[in-house]
Structure 1
Amino acid sequence: MDDTDSAIITHLQRDARLTNRELARRVGIAPSTCLERVRALRARGVITGYHAAVQPRLLGRSLQALVFAKLRPLSREVIYDFESYLTQLPEVVSVFVVSGEDDFLVHVAVPDIEHLHAFLMDRFSARREVVTFRSSVIYRQTGTRVLTPMDGAGREGEP
């Protein structure tokens, strides 16, 4: 990973709809070189896909929450099964298997508080492996959608 790859990744994260020609112009390389580098980044698994960022509120999902869950018995099979179950639910935005007091952190987006309550009662309470769960409503979400390599991380010739 060099500075050119980093620049390509940054520009694509900001606007994945850039044409190869425009991307090459912004990075300052030839279009053929740009195309080769993007293909190499995809082949190495650095670029895993492209998506459209959406506004949940405009999709009828005005309420977002984080759900923390503790499972028992804690085993690889239980974790994988629960993770698979969650990723199939339309309310679920993201699933994180975490360390600490909780085993899962689940980001959900639903129409309103009644739907959140029903989701928790029907989807979490109904699962035998869930021993406890709690939720926190998200009031506001901010953050960056653009990741760049950390100093020294992923640079060519380095571990």
Structure 2
Amino acid sequence: MDDIDSAIVRELQRDARQTNRDLARALGIAPSTCLERVRSLRQRGVITGYRATVDLKALNRPVQALLSVRIRPMSREVIEGFKAYAIGLPEVLNVYVVAGGDDFLVHVAVPEVNHLHTVLMDRFSGRREVVDFRSSVIYQHVSKDVVEPLAP
């Protein structure tokens, strides 16, 4: 990644809907150069896709929580099975396999706290591999719109 690649990635993270011509103009490069660079970034796996950011409240999901989950037995098969199960639930936004005291962090978004309780009781507590879970309601969260590369 050189400075131009980094600038392209930064600009596309800010606004992926801009035209190639607008992107090239913002970076001060030729549109053909810009298009080739974007294609290269996609081929190299730096740019993995384009998404629309949505308002969870508008989707009737104003309550968010992080679920800390421990599973047993610890095996690749059990980890992969639980990961696939969790991400398949409609309330789940993200699943993280983590090290430390917990095995997973599961990010959920639901309409209300009672729905969160139902998810915990009906979808997690009955799973044979789940030995423990805790929930932490998220009051606020912020995320970076632009992720910059770090120096090696």
Give the secondary structure class of the aligned counterpart of 1:51: coil
| RMSD over aligned Cα atoms | 0.7
Name 1:69's counterpart in structure 2: 69
Give the secondary structure class of the aligned counterpart of 1:48: coil
How far apart are 1:146 and its partner, in Å? 1.0
Give the secondary structure class of the aligned counterpart of 2:67: strand
Work out the CA distance in 1 between the residues paired with 2:90 and 2:77: 23
Q: Report Cα offsets for 1:36-79 as digits up to 9, x if no partner.
A: 11111111111110000111011100100000000000111111
Whether 2:114 is the aligned partner of 1:105: answer no
Work out the CA distance in 1 between the residues paired with 2:42 and 2:84: 25
Work out the CA distance in 2 between the residues paired with 1:8 and 1:88: 33
Identity of aligned residues (%): 64
Give the secondary structure class of the aligned counterpart of 2:17: coil
Name 1:31's counterpart in structure 2: 31
Name 1:2's counterpart in structure 2: 2
Work out the CA distance in 2 between the residues paired with 1:127 and 1:145: 36
Return the letter of the residue paired with 1:84: A
How far apart are 1:128 and its partner, in Å? 0.5
Structure 1 unaligned regions, length at least 5: 153-159
Return the letter of the residue paired with 1:52: A
Name 1:88's counterpart in structure 2: 88
Work out the CA distance in 2 between the residues paired with 1:122 and 1:31: 53
Return the letter of the residue paired with 1:117: H
Work out the CA distance in 2 between the residues paired with 1:116 and 1:90: 12
Whether 2:118 is the aligned partner of 1:118: answer yes
Work out the CA distance in 1 between the residues paired with 2:78 and 2:63: 29
Work out the CA distance in 2 between the residues paired with 1:74 and 1:11: 42
Paired positions, count: 152
Runs of 4+ in 1 over 6 A off after TM superposition: none
The equivalences for 1:38-53 within 5 A come to: 38-53=38-53
How far apart are 1:145 and its partner, in Å? 2.2
Structure 2 unaligned regions, length at least 5: none
Work out the CA distance in 2 between the residues paired with 1:121 and 1:45: 39
Name 1:156's counterpart in structure 2: none
**How does the TM-score come out when normalised to structure 1?**
0.94
Whether 2:56 is the aligned partner of 1:22: answer no
